[in-house]
């Protein structure tokens, strides 16, 4: 089972409430791919232990410092710890205060009782016919007064426990978890570290304003001689053919073609403006996240033109160093947005079969 399939199964288990099975699948993914950011974030969501959650979030942020959800979750954990420490301190303070109050009340009551006894006559309580009869006896020397209480033989005093004081802390509102539940495949995959496999469709917008929303599906990949034959048949090699050094079909001794069959769809945008789908504008190769772009040789190919929605499908060709391992980068209208510094709104496709 591929990593992509295991991730999809983990998502289904998580959404159905079976976090244990989801966690086991995510651990399997981590065994084969220790740097999988999505699996680490999923383990955070499946965990109920605060220390374990913090550990997973720290690993996510080590691998991807710009992971917004992990950053927000880390702030929430810190706020939760602070609230729990404050509540514990307040509980200890209240218990101490109640204990001191009870001791003070005991000494006040004891002093008042001693004062009253010193001012009264000696009382003798004599049982008569199962009733208590109180007689007043005179004291010749009322220097010290003794309180004598004689109880009926059948009366057994039952000690009573002092009233128990129960402190009920007021409810403290914990910070609301604003993080999105377990990451869905269409939003979280497609990073440079976790590119989507062949056959997957990814939807992205050209910039934060969503001026253009497009999707791309990588359908097939060819390399070596097969890609070379496709390039010769599809590209306009120009006068002199592939052997001419200035031709787009010409390869250096250590170069080869990568041929990718892609379907592009322009989903949303200005409904009243005629749009054009040029694969050269939105597809490049990269060797690093946000690194330099290797542009395709299809710089003049027009796949579709008209009003949104539009779609087109064909081969796109790139020249690369033999044996290198780039990834396909899809960013709607990258050739336009990079001129204003926007070049990281896209998604990555794996070129491995």
C-alpha to C-alpha distances, 10 to 184, 195, 347, nearest whole angstrom = 10, 18, 22
Determine the length of the chain: 353
**Statement: residue 309 has pLDDT above 70:** yes
Torsional sign, CA 223, 225, 226, 228: positive
pTM for this entry: 0.48
Pick 190-349's CATH classification: 1.10.3720.10, 2.30.30.100, 3.30.930.10, 2.60.40.1240: 2.60.40.1240
Instruction: CATH 1.25.40.10 in the chain: give the residue spans.
Output: 3-76
More confident call, 83 vs 149: 83
Q: What percent of the chain has pLDDT over 70?
A: 70
CB 207 within 8 A of CB 332: no
Dist CA 26 CA 64 (whole Å): 18
Structure-token pair, residue 147: 């309180």
Which one, of 346, 288, 343, 294, lies nearest residue 316 by Cα?
A: 294
Residue 30 CA to residue 60 CA, distance in Å, equals: 12
- Residues 183 and 26: their CA atoms lie apart, in Å, by 13
pLDDT digits (tens, 9 = 90+) for 33-92: 888 888 898 898 998 888 888 888 888 888 888 787 888 888 887 777 665 665 666 666
Q: What is the mean pLDDT of residues 289-294?
A: 90
* CATH class, 3-76 region: mainly alpha
Q: For the chain, give me the number of helices (H) and strands (E)?
A: 9, 13
Backbone angles phi, psi at 243, to 5 degrees: -75, -20
Backbone conformation region of residue 333, classed left if phi is above 0, alpha if psi is from -120 to 50, else beta: left
CA nearest to 184, candidates 1, 29, 10:
10
Assess whether pLDDT exceeds 70 at residue 114.
Answer: no
């Amino acid at each position: 089972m591929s990593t992509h399939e295991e991730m999809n199964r983990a998502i289904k288990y998580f959404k159905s409430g079976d976090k244990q099975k989801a966690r086991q699948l995510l651990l399997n993914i981590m065994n084969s791919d220790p740097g999988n950011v999505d699996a680490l974030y999923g383990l955070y969501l499946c965990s109920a232990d605060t220390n374990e959650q913090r550990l997973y979030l720290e690993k996510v942020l080590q691998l991807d410092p710009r992971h917004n959800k992990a950053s927000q979750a880390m702030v929430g954990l810190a706020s939760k710890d602070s609230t729990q420490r404050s509540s514990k301190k307040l509980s200890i303070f209240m218990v101490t205060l109640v204990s001191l109050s009870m001791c003070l009340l005991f000494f006040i009551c004891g002093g008042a009782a001693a004062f009253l006894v010193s001012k009264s006559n000696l009382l003798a309580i004599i049982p008569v016919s199962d009733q208590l009869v109180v007689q007043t006896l005179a004291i010749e020397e009322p220097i010290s007064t003794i309180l004598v209480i004689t109880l009926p033989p059948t009366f057994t005093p039952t000690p009573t426990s002092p009233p128990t004081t129960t402190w009920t802390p007021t409810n403290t509102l914990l910070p609301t978890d604003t993080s999105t539940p377990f990451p869905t495949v269409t939003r979280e995959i497609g990073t440079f570290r976790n590119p989507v496999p062949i056959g997957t469709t990814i939807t992205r917008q050209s910039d934060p304003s969503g001026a253009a929303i497009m999707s791309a599906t990588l359908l097939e990949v060819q390399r070596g001689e097969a890609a070379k034959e496709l390039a010769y048949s599809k590209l306009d090699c120009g006068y002199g053919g592939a052997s001419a050094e200035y031709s787009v079909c010409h390869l250096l001794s250590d170069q080869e073609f990568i041929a990718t069959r892609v379907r592009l769809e322009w989903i949303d945008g200005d409904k009243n403006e005629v749009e054009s789908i040029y694969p050269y504008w939105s597809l490049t190769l990269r060797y690093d996240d946000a690194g330099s772009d290797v542009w395709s040789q299809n710089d003049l190919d027009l796949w579709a033109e008209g009003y949104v929605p539009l779609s087109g499908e064909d081969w796109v060709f790139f020249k690369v160093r033999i044996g290198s391992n780039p990834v396909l980068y899809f960013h709607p209208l990258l050739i336009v947005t990079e001129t204003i510094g926007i070049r990281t709104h896209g998604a990555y496709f794996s070129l491995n079969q």
